[in-house]
Amino acid sequence: MNDYLLHLADTSLILSHRNSEWCGHGPVLEQDIAITNIALDLLGQARYFYQYAARLTGNTDEDKLAFLRHEREFKNLLITELPKGDWAHTVLRQYLFSQFQFFQFEKLQHHSDKELAAIAAKSLKETAYHLRWSREWVIRLGDGTEESHRRMLAALDTLWPYTHEMFRPADYELACEVNVAELEQPWKEAMAYVFQEANLPIPQHTWFQYGGKTGYHTEYLGYILAEMQYMQRAYPGATW
């Protein structure tokens, strides 16, 4: 269970950090606030999972799990650590992930582990908003101007090879009676519906990127952790 909780926490934490890079840089003030709030929601989800994992371990706490682990110990999905890119890249990644996360939490809220189920049920409400917000932006940009459509196609080409990792179960997921492969078909059906409305094609990639769930990451995660963990590592045990 502990590895699975860390996977859920790491994924939310790293995407939260990426989204937070838009704070003060959003295209308009309202959307700047929206993406920052989504980052805060994801950070809150990460805290719940870290806190539960820390209690199960018994000899650590949430801060140590977030700030004192190395790249190979992180189990986040690779798609979450990719650079934020432009606005099209950010909103498309959020949609691809939020659609998966929505189905994931829908299922987890009925898990036999009551605390995991409770965290999923609480997080599902936030994820429903993330999904609605990002889906509207995908449609708006995909079916918008020639330039916005071009940028969405470029983002899709970059991100799609990282999507299949979401549905490839790790051993620790199966050990927790979680089979994410079951979510792939409803996710694909949702993609087909939204992409049709957004005037975007379903990519036909025959290769995909894997490794994040088992600690094999892109070079970008190291830069994220260097920034995110600096204060804790420079001043161990520091408190406000």
* pLDDT of res. 216: 96
Distance between CA atoms of residues 106 and 120, nearest Å: 7
Alpha-helical segments (H) within the chain: 2-20, 29-57, 62-67, 87-108, 114-142, 146-159, 171-175, 184-198, 219-228, 230-234
* pLDDT of res. 206: 77
* pLDDT of res. 219: 96
Give Cα 77 to chain centroid, integer Å.
7
* pLDDT of res. 237: 79
The SS3 of residue 207 is coil
Distance between CA atoms of residues 96 and 138, nearest Å: 10
Q: What is the pTM of this model?
A: 0.95
Residues in CB range of 216: below 8 A, 6 or more apart:
72, 210
Comparing C-alpha atoms, which of 15, 52, 85 is closest to residue 228? 15
**Domains of the chain: residue spans and CATH:** 2-234 (1.20.1260.10)
Length of the chain, in residues: 240
Backbone angles phi, psi at 103, to 5 degrees: -65, -35
* pLDDT of res. 136: 97
pLDDT by residue for the chain (240 residues), tens only, comes to 989 999 999 999 999 999 999 998 888 878 889 999 999 999 999 999 999 999 998 878 899 999 999 999 999 999 999 999 999 999 999 999 999 999 999 999 999 999 999 999 999 999 999 999 999 999 999 999 999 999 999 999 999 999 999 999 999 999 999 999 999 999 999 999 999 999 999 998 778 999 999 999 999 999 999 999 999 888 887 776
